[in-house]
Amino acid sequence: MSAVKTFPRRAASSPALPTLFLLAATLATVLLAVGLGSVPISPADTLKAIGHGLSGAELSGNDVIVWQLRLPRVALGWLVGAALGVSGGAFQGVFRNPLADPYLMGVASGAGLGATLVIALGLATLWLPLFALTGAMLSVFTALLIAREGNRLPPARLILAGVVVGSILTAFTTYLLLQNADRIRQVFAFTLGNLAFAGWPQVGRLLPYVLIGGGALLLLARALNTLQLGDLTARSLGLPVERLRLLVIVAASLCTAGAVSYAGIIGFIGLVTPHLVRRLWGADHRILLPISAIAGGTLLVLSDLLARTLTRPAELPVGVVTTLLGGPFFLYLLRRQKT
């Protein structure tokens, strides 16, 4: 199968160096993201605020901004980026298709419809994550049901079903939007991603999705490696190909749906991160998936840092930043890739 070729099994000459660099970049990004924001706060005060927050002492002045706004925003951003990175890597692996991204099975359009319903019906925004999550998972299961062929889940049918279910849901969303033109911007903000009101409770609620979904994907990494040999070979090696595909799709969608319901639809992280990681670390999913999680988290925290500081104290939508950074970068990778 020609798609296998796009995943060269070439081991990077020295994966230790890029790993070291990634960890340093992660640390630096997180420190900068906590230290910088629309309100200027000195590093000393930032450290003091974290001390107060950790010790449970009374928060005063800038403590609140550091401990209750910035830190959880960085934490949520990192979790969301990690979820998108690991799901993107898993989707590209399970479909053996470098164009796959976490939204392939209609997660984004399902979540978008859920969010739009909340906004159009004028429900409290507290309901938004639940509706978005439900919409996302429903659209994935619909696509899975439609694509099923007896006991089999052929990749091409899955992709088509996902794309078409997504288009149908988007049509509903667009219709609802036109009926509620005065609330259009709120939905628009969701579709561009938004971390503005990230707090510790949201971090706590998203964590299980990422741990369970991401953990499951890491456990399936070896099987994903075998799947790269093609369905036939994998089956002859005793791999339950259809069950693996179903598990990976459900786990990655759960991870993505959780992320989308708390942060909106953030583009390009899930597509670009695995490509970048594959270039430097190779295509072994046991390494690709965890590194994609770390890199995805770091890239999103970095994008959000730019989103909230470039025009401060105003903010850019984080999805615009990820796309403006990710899009050209992806094109660069594409140009350099030899087929």
Partner 1 sequence: MYKLMFLSAALLTTAAHATAYPLTLTDDTGRKVTLKAEPLRIVSFLPSNTETICAIGGCDKLVGVDEYSDFPASVTRLPKVGNLYQPNIEAVVALKPDLVIVSKYGDLTAPLTNAGINVLAVNPETYEDVFSKTQLLGKIINRQAQATALVTQMRRDIARVEILAKNAVKKPTAYYEIDPTPYTVGPNSFVGVLLSKAGGANIIPAALGDFPKISPELVVKSAPQLIFGVDLATAKARPGWNTIPAVKSGRVIKDDALDHILSRPGPRLPQAFLGLAKLVHPELFK
H-assigned helices in 1-148: 16-35, 43-55, 62-64, 71-94, 107-121, 128-147
Q: How far apart are CA 91 and CA 248, in angstroms?
A: 8
* Binder among 56, 181, 335, 336 for partner 1 (CB under 8 A): 181
Structure tokens at 196: 């503005």
- For partner 1, the closer CB: 264 or 282: 264
Helix (H) or strand (E) holding 160: helix 155-179
Query: Any idea what DSSP says for residue 151?
Result: T
Q: Give the footprint of partner 1 on residues 54-73 (CB under 8 A).
A: 59, 62, 64-65, 67-70, 72
Least separation in angstroms between residue 227's CB and partner 1 is: 41
Considering beta carbons, is residue 188 or 332 the nearer one to partner 1?
A: 188
Among 87, 142, 194, 303, binds partner 1 (CB under 8 A): 194
Binding mask 240-269 for partner 1 (x = CB under 8 A): ------------------------------
Residue 102: C-alpha distances to residues 70, 86, 179, 314, 316 (Å): 26, 9, 29, 29, 23
Interface residue with partner 1, options 23, 39, 99, 130 (CB under 8 A): 39
Q: Which is nearer to partner 1, 70 or 245 (CB)?
A: 70
Interface of this chain with partner 1, residues 67 to 106, rule: CB under 8 A: 67-70, 72
Radius of gyration of the chain, Cα coordinates, nearest whole angstrom: 20
Alpha-carbon span 145 to 64, nearest angstrom: 47
Interacting residues with partner 1 (CB under 8 A)? 37-39, 59, 62, 64-65, 67-70, 72, 124-126, 178, 181-183, 185-186, 189, 194, 196-200, 308, 312-317
